[in-house]
C-alpha cells in the first residue's frame, strides 16, 4: 500500500517510534515512556480476545499507537486537522466528525484534547460515533509544560466529562507519580535551555540522562507515590453504556 507516494512501512518501522519507545536521552523520555506503557496496557486489557474491530484514531498525528491495535482491527481510520506521513485518512475537526452514529467499536484519542477548542464537544462526538458497548481509550496531560495548547486535566475532570457524555469510565491509569512528573518537567526545562553550541548540546544530553536516571530511581524508591496528586497525565478506558443523547437535549449543568 502507498502512503504519500511511498510504500507503507511495516509495523516494526511504523512512524512514531519516538512516542512508543523514546530514547533515554530525550527530554520527553519520562513522560512519553509512561504514556506509551499505559496506552499499551489499556489497549491490551480492554480489547483482550476481540478482533475485527473498527477503530477511529481521533487526532491521529502519525498514528503512533497503530502497531498496538493492528492485530485486532478490521479497519483503522485516522482523523486529524493536519497532514502527516501516514495521512490522515480524513481531514476533520474532532468537534464535528463526518461519520454516522455508532460507526466504530473503538475510539483512540491520545493527547488531543489539549489542542482542541472545545474538548467537551469532542467527547460528545466520540459518544455519538461509538457503538453502544464500544470502547474509548483516551489520554490527556495532567502536569506538563505549555506546548502551544489550551487545556490541562485532572483525572477527576476527565471522568466527569466522559460520564457526562454517557461514557462510563472503567479504568484510569496515571502516567507515573510525582517524582516522574517533577523530573519530567526538569528534563523539558533542560531541553529548552537555549544554545545549540558545540559544548552546550552534549552537556544538555548528559544532564537529561542524569536527570532521567534520578527520576526513575526516585519513582522506584517511592513506589509510584503521588500519582493521583501530581502526574504527567492519565490514560482512561471508558465504555459507551447507553445510546447517545444529543448534547442539546441534555439537562443543563447545575449552576453554582
Ligand atoms: C499532540 S498531537 C497527538 C497526536 C497523536 N494522537 C499522538 O498521540 O501522537 C495532537 C494532535 O491533535 C490534532 N488536532 C488538533 N486540533 C484538532 C481538532 N480540533 N480535531 C482533530 N484533531 C486535532 C493535531 O493536529 C495533532 O496531530
CA distance 210 to 216: 10
Cβ of residue 148 lying under 6 Å from some atom of ligand 1: no
232 lies in some domain: yes
Segment 156-185 shows an average pLDDT of 96
Residue 174 lies in a domain: yes
Mean pLDDT of 183-198: 84
Residue 184 lies in a domain: no
Residue 164 has pLDDT above 50, yes or no: yes
Q: Which atom of ligand 1 has the smallest separation from the CA of 139?
A: 8
Q: How confident is the model at residue 200 (pLDDT cuts 50, 70, 90)?
A: confident
Q: How far is the CA of 61 from the centre of ligand 1 (A)?
A: 6
Q: Regarding predicted confidence, which is higher, 224 or 166?
A: 166
Identify the burial level of 147 via C-beta atoms within 10 angstroms of its C-beta, where 0-12 means exposed, 13-18 middle and 19 or more buried.
exposed
| Ligand 1 atom at shortest distance from the alpha carbon of 93 | 20
* Residue 115 pLDDT > 90: yes
212 located within any domain: no
How many domains is the chain built from?
1
The tens digit of pLDDT for each residue in 51-77 reads 999 999 999 999 999 999 999 999 999
- pTM reported for the whole predicted model: 0.92
Choose between 115 and 194: higher pLDDT.
115
- What is the pLDDT of the chain when averaged over all its residues? 91
- The band of 207, judged by pLDDT with boundaries at 50, 70 and 90, is very high
On whether residue 160 sits in a domain, the answer given is yes
pLDDT band at 165 (very low <50, low <70, confident <90, very high): very high
CATH value at residue 57: 3.40.50.150
Residue that has been written with the C-alpha cell 449543568 in this structure? 253
C-beta of 19 in contact with ligand 1 (< 6 A) = yes
Pocket test for ligand 1, best of 112, 136, 151 (most atoms within 8 A of CB): 112
Output the pLDDT for position 11. 86
Split at pLDDT 50, 70, 90, the class of 1 is very low
Q: How far is the CA of 222 from the centre of ligand 1 (A)?
A: 33
The reported pLDDT for the residue numbered 49 is 94
Provide the edge-to-edge strand list for the sheet that holds 73-80. Answer: 90-91, 73-80, 53-58, 104-110, 130-141, 233-240, 167-174
Q: 22: CA distance to ligand 1 center in Å?
A: 19
**Is residue 186, in this structure, part of any structural domain at all?**
no
202-237 in b/e form (b: 16+ CB < 10 A) is eebbebbbebbeebbebbeeeeeebbeebbbbbbbb
Q: How far apart are the CA of 80 and the centre of ligand 1, in A?
A: 6
Spatial separation of the C-alpha atoms in residues 212 and 58, rounded to whole Å: 30
Q: What is the mean predicted confidence (pLDDT) over 22-27?
A: 96
Is residue 185 assigned to a domain? no
> Cβ(187) to ligand 1 under 6 A?
no
Instruction: Write down the pLDDT at residue 2.
Output: 41
Q: What's the average model confidence in pLDDT over 129-142? A: 98
Q: Is 94 in the pocket of ligand 1 (CB under 6 A)?
A: yes
217 lines ligand 1 (CB under 6 A): no
The predicted structure's pLDDT at residue 3: 43
The whole-number pLDDT of residue 4 equals 43
- Domain residues for 20? 7-178+225-244
With respect to residue 128, please indicate whether it lies within any of the assigned structural domains.
yes
Amino acid at each position: 500500500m502507498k502512503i504519500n507516494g511511498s510504500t507503507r512501512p511495516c509495523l516494526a518501522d511504523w512512524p512514531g517510534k519516538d512516542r512508543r519507545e523514546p530514547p533515554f536521552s530525550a527530554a520527553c523520555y519520562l513522560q512519553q515512556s509512561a504514556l506509551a506503557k499505559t496506552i499499551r496496557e489499556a489497549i491490551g486489557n480492554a480489547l483482550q480476545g476481540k478482533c475485527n474491530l473498527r477503530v477511529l484514531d481521533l487526532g491521529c498525528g502519525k498514528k503512533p499507537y497503530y502497531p498496538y491495535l493492528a492485530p485486532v482491527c478490521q479497519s483503522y481510520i485516522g482523523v486529524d486537522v493536519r497532514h502527516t506521513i501516514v495521512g490522515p485518512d480524513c481531514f476533520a475537526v474532532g468537534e464535528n466528525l463526518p461519520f454516522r452514529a455508532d460507526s466504530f467499536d473503538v475510539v483512540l484519542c491520545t493527547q488531543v484534547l489539549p489542542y482542541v477548542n472545545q474538548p467537551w464537544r469532542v467527547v460528545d462526538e466520540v459518544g455519538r460515533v461509538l457503538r453502544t458497548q464500544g470502547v474509548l481509550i483516551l489520554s490527556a496531560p495532567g502536569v506538563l509544560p505549555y506546548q502551544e495548547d489550551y487545556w490541562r486535566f485532572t483525572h477527576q475532570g476527565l471522568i466527569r466529562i466522559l460520564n457526562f457524555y454517557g461514557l462510563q469510565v472503567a479504568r484510569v491509569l496515571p502516567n507515573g507519580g510525582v517524582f516522574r512528573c517533577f523530573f519530567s518537567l526538569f528534563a523539558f526545562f533542560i531541553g529548552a535551555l537555549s544554545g545549540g553550541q558545540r559544548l552546550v548540546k552534549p552537556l544538555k544530553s548528559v544532564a537529561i540522562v542524569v536527570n532521567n536516571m534520578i527520576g526513575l530511581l526516585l519513582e522506584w524508591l517511592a513506589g509510584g507515590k503521588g500519582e493521583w496528586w501530581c502526574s504527567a497525565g492519565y490514560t482512561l478506558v471508558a465504555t459507551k453504556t447507553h445510546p447517545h443523547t444529543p448534547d442539546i437535549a441534555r439537562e443543563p449543568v447545575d449552576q453554582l
